[in-house]
Amino acid sequence: MATLLEQLRGITTVVSDTGDINSIIQYKPTDSTTNPSLIAAAAEMPAYASVVDDVLMKAREAAGPSASDKDVAALAFKSLAVAFGIKILQIIPGRVSTEVDARISYDRDKSIETARDIISQYEKAGISRERVLIKLASTWEGIKAAEILEREGIHCNMTLLFGMHQAVACAEAKVTLISPFVGRILDWYKKDTGKDYAGADDPGVQSVTKIYNYFKKFGYKTQVMGASFRNIGEIIELAGCDLLTIAPKLLSELDSKQEKLERKLDPAKAAAMNIDRIPMDQAAFEKAHAEDRMAHDKLKEGIEGFSKALEDLEKLLAKRLSEISEKQPVGAR
């Protein structure tokens, strides 16, 4: 019998959730996603020291000799995710997701400017924008930024998505992809209720199932990619979802088990369901977000977490730049 991973690939696009290129080579996903935490973790691996150093040297040259290590590091981190993305795209057949700075999640115009810059870097490296997804936080401002970017042919992956209101707003904005966070939803409910959940009772699984059925019922082209899994039980319950982005540890577990995988999500079944359409504008979005404690808490926490990861990455790059500078001959500095 085929492994769970092999069966899953037959009904769902499998995406790797890592910055570790060796893991991507091992599991051969179609697409790959990264985020600030994953890039920071990969940047500390000795295997990728040359990638980091190359980005730092280019940033030093662009910033000029008078720029501080801190300023150069701030410039370099913007290019580092793209550098990893270019490496990943040499391995996978599909797309890579690269994230906009989480610290500008509530600034529509800066998000648009940063997304355009990321795409420009990829295109200068000879990579078509069709192979890149820009990741934006699912704030109202982020969703409106994505709506404008999509009209320019810049495809977006809306991340830090926890509530139905966020999903509906993304679909109405005609974004390419959304990434509802299954595991983080589970985390919140476990903490809030003191209960444990498994299988179809998992609140994260229920959230993605509801979003998937809604999108298929009303014929939205926006794809659903379940993300942030805590166990393979969640993945099994979402078999048939458009895409699932899975960490290497869980990919390994799926690849080690041989049992029948049942398709749980099906567009034909969803189309036949009795589902009410949800009206969505900014006022409705803000009202729903204020009333949904889980989505409110997890979006805030996620933005703060990714922002902290970026700050840590900037410190790491500044330290690495200092070490490189110390090793250079005096005349070369």
User: Which positions are catalytic?
Assistant: 135
pLDDT one-digit tens code per residue, 185-222: 999 999 999 999 999 999 999 999 999 999 999 999 99
Pairwise CA distance, residues 234 & 68, whole Å: 46
Arithmetic mean of pLDDT over the chain: 94
- For the cut 70, the answer to whether the pLDDT of residue 176 exceeds it is yes
State yes or no: pLDDT of 109 exceeds 60: yes
Nearest of 234, 199, 227, 239 to residue 2 by alpha carbon: 239
* CB-based contact 240:12 (threshold 8 Å): yes
CB atoms within 10 A of CB 174: 14
Q: Can you name the residues that pair with 11 across neighbouring β-strands?
A: none
Measured between alpha carbons, how far is 101 from 201 in angstroms, rounded to an integer? 34
Where do the H-state alpha helices sit in 156-292?
164-172, 182-193, 203-217, 232-237, 248-256, 267-271, 282-291
Tens digit of each residue's pLDDT (9 = 90 or more) over 249-270: 999 999 999 999 999 999 999 9
pLDDT tens digit sequence for 130-148: 999 999 999 999 999 999 9
CB-based contact 48:285 (threshold 8 Å): no
Query: Taking Cα atoms as reference points, which of 209, 214, 137, 122 lies closest to residue 168?
Result: 214
CB atoms within 10 A of CB 141: 20
d(CA 133, CA 156) in angstroms, rounded, equals: 5
Could you tell me the two tokens for 314?
């900037």
Lowest mean pLDDT among 63-77, 232-246, 277-291, 295-309: 63-77
How many Å apart are CA 309 and CA 263, to the nearest integer? 36
Q: What is d(CA 234, CA 215) in angstroms, rounded to the nearest whole number?
A: 20
Amino acid at 161: L
**pLDDT at position 329, please?**
56
Which of 183, 179, 113 shows the shortest CA–CA distance to 152?
113
Domains and CATH numbers, the chain: 4-332 (3.20.20.70)
User: Strand ranges (DSSP E) for the chain?
Assistant: 13-17, 31-33, 96-99, 132-137, 156-161, 177-180, 223-226, 243-246
Helix (H, G, I), strand (E, B) or coil at 35: coil
Encoding tokens for residue 312? 């840590």
Q: At which residue do the structure tokens 């701030």 appear?
A: 74
Span between the terminal Cα atoms of the chain, in Å? 60
- H or E stretch covering 180: strand 177-180
